[in-house]
Amino acid sequence: MPKDAHVTFLGDGEFDGIDLQADLRKTDWFYVCRTASTILVRGCGVQFHVADLAPARGELLAVTPAWMTAEEYGPVSILALWEQQFKEPIYLVTNMSDLDAAVQQYKKRAHIETFFSDQKSRGFNIHKSHLSDPTRLSRLLIASCLAYLWIVYLGVCATQEEWMK
């Protein structure tokens, strides 16, 4: 990664750990990760669980600055967001100061979820490779990504040229 690159790490709930957040902060990367509703937070001098924010449907709530977990890692911002089209709220943790931008960045995750599931359980089953050598894993990922691009290309061709008829 070039030294002057602007990077925003987007993660699901398994990426909200304070060790990863600290590592990302050391690299000057921004991050927006989903976090569990049971995470303990301290903000405004009060300790509570993230779920206690309980946003109403259509509402975005934020606590900033906040410190999370019993170790009180921070400062971070905690966001509670319940969009109209969803059945329940989501909770995010970020080190971004522009919280609206953090929400917009996190929404980009939806565009890559299909790719992840195709690489794992719905397609190439890479999660079953049991590779631990970084070089071998990199080669497998390159091959599967090229195959994925080829499949997407063929799908576009099939749609545009009406092959399905």
For the segment 17-43, what is each residue's pLDDT rounded down to a tens digit? 899 999 999 998 999 999 999 999 999
Is 112's pLDDT higher than 90?
no
Q: 134 in a domain, yes or no?
A: yes
Q: Which amino acid is at 119?
A: Q
Which of 80, 107, 134 terminates a domain? The answer is 107
Q: What is the mean pLDDT of the chain?
A: 91
Which of 88, 107, 126 terminates a domain? The answer is 107
More confident residue, 122 or 133: 133
What whole-number distance in Å separates Cα of residue 4 and Cα of residue 18? 24
pLDDT, residue 95, reads 97
Q: Which helix (H) or strand (E) holds 135?
A: helix 134-160
Burial of 122 (0-12, 13-18, 19+ CB in 10 A): exposed
If asked whether residues 73 and 24 sit together in one domain, one would say: yes
If asked whether residues 102 and 134 sit together in one domain, one would say: no
Range of the domain at 71: 8-107
Is 3's pLDDT higher than 90?
no
If asked whether residues 36 and 69 sit together in one domain, one would say: yes
Q: Which amino acid is at 39?
A: I
If asked whether residues 84 and 148 sit together in one domain, one would say: no
Q: 3 in a domain, yes or no?
A: no
If asked whether residues 118 and 95 sit together in one domain, one would say: no
If asked whether residues 147 and 100 sit together in one domain, one would say: no
Entry pTM = 0.76
Q: Collect all residues with Cβ–Cβ distance below 8 Å to 6 and sequence separation of at least 6.
A: 30
Q: 1 in a domain, yes or no?
A: no
pLDDT, residue 128, reads 87
If asked whether residues 97 and 26 sit together in one domain, one would say: yes
Number of domains present in the structure of the chain? 2
Is 77's pLDDT higher than 90?
yes
Scan for tokens 């924010």, then name that residue.
Answer: 53
Q: 76 in a domain, yes or no?
A: yes
If asked whether residues 42 and 80 sit together in one domain, one would say: yes
pLDDT, residue 118, reads 84
If asked whether residues 103 and 37 sit together in one domain, one would say: yes
If asked whether residues 102 and 127 sit together in one domain, one would say: no
Adjacent-strand bridge partners of 49? 40
Q: 155 in a domain, yes or no?
A: yes
Q: Which helix (H) or strand (E) holds 155?
A: helix 134-160
Is 159's pLDDT higher than 80?
yes
**Nearest-5° angle of CA 35, CA 40, CA 44?**
105
Average pLDDT over residues 86-98: 95
Q: 98 in a domain, yes or no?
A: yes
Average pLDDT over residues 7-23: 89
If asked whether residues 83 and 123 sit together in one domain, one would say: no
What whole-number distance in Å separates Cα of residue 80 and Cα of residue 27? 26
